[in-house]
């Protein structure tokens, strides 16, 4: 059935960093992401790498943080020093 795709290890850590830098609680994060359908527990699962966020959710994180999506999903790219950054993603 094919080979499983490799998973990036730092996505959860980066999502946690973004939330903490922006001083947003796990309870408030779904609304700030424009995803009020998400349970706050799902945010915890993303941050601990128990669950992988959808592409749309990652785009929402990138937009909220003002960073390029690559900064979130590529383990070889660090988050920028300035968050929120100047990158805007039309959704």
* Domain ranges within the chain, ordered by starting residue: 11-73
| CA dist list (Å): 27 to 11, 53, 66, 72 | 19, 17, 21, 21
Q: With bands split at pLDDT 50, 70 and 90, how would you rate the model's confidence at 67?
A: very high
Report how far residue 16's alpha carbon sits from residue 46's, in angstroms, rounded to the nearest whole number.
Answer: 8
- Correct CATH for 11-73 of 1.10.260.40, 3.30.300.30, 3.40.50.920, 1.10.10.1200: 1.10.260.40
Query: What pLDDT digit, counting tens, does each position of 5-50 carry?
Result: 677 789 999 999 999 999 999 999 999 999 999 999 999 999 999 9
């Amino acid at each position: 059935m094919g080979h499983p795709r490799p998973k990036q290890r730092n996505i959860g850590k980066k999502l946690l960093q973004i939330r903490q830098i922006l001083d947003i609680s796990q309870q408030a994060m779904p609304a700030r992401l424009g995803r009020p359908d998400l349970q706050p527990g799902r945010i915890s699962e993303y941050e601990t790498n128990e669950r992988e966020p959808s592409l749309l959710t990652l785009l929402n994180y990138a937009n909220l943080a003002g960073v390029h999506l690559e900064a979130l999903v590529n383990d070889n790219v660090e988050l920028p020093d300035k968050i929120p950054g100047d990158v805007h993603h039309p959704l």
